[in-house]
Homo-oligomer: A and B are copies of this chain.
Amino acid sequence: MQPQNNIRLTNRRKVIIEELRKLHTHPTADELYEVVRKRLPRISLGTVYRNLEFLAGKGIIRKLEIGGTQKRFDGDLDIHQHIRCTECERIDDLPAGTAVTRCDREILENTGYEIIERRVEFIGICPACRARRAGEGPGHSGVVDTH
């Protein structure tokens, strides 16, 4: 979060990070916008979107791309899992160290959540793309435009 490398430490950016870190609710962009607006009444929703995406790309915050129609964001960089209520859509943190298997009872006792479903997703690079990458050879900047 230093200046240099053309990253400017704007007041917008500082407030967005601060308010996201204060919240433990994994807000959507528009939810965080409503909070930030209390300190910066002239900020635009687009600025919140742009900065959340920017900061997630820099690894300063996390973007949760879980199911549902809206993206959610998390100021907590520690590795941890989430639990979502199927009724009200709220997302809570799971206590660290919770095992994936045989943990429904443990989760119920720790959080009060009744487990309905578990979802495990692995994210990686498929054989075809690995081959294509290898063929491209070295000399490969870190910044890639995927569009």
Chain copies in complex: 2
Of the candidate stretches A17-25, A33-41, A52-60, A122-130, the one touching chain B is A122-130
A112 touches B127 (CB 8 A): yes
B115 touches A119 (CB 8 A): no
A13-71 with Cβ < 8 A to chain B: 65-68
A124 touches B113 (CB 8 A): yes
User: 24 A-B pairs, CB-CB below 8 angstroms?
Assistant: A67-B121, A81-B122, A83-B123, A83-B124, A83-B126, A84-B123, A85-B125, A85-B129, A86-B123, A87-B133, A92-B126, A100-B100, A100-B120, A111-B126, A111-B127, A113-B122, A114-B124, A115-B124, A116-B125, A117-B122, A118-B121, A118-B123, A119-B121, A120-B121
Q: Which of B118, B130, B133 contacts A122 (CB 8 A)?
A: B118
Looking at chain A's contact residues, is the secondary structure mostly helix, strand, loop, or mixed? mixed
Q: State A101–B99 Cα separation when bound (angstroms).
A: 9
Between A121, A127, A132, A146, the greatest number of chain B beta carbons within 10 A of the residue's beta carbon is seen for A121
Q: State A114–B123 Cα separation when bound (angstroms).
A: 8
> Which residues of chain B are near A118, meaning CB under 8 Å?
120-123
A86 touches B128 (CB 8 A): no
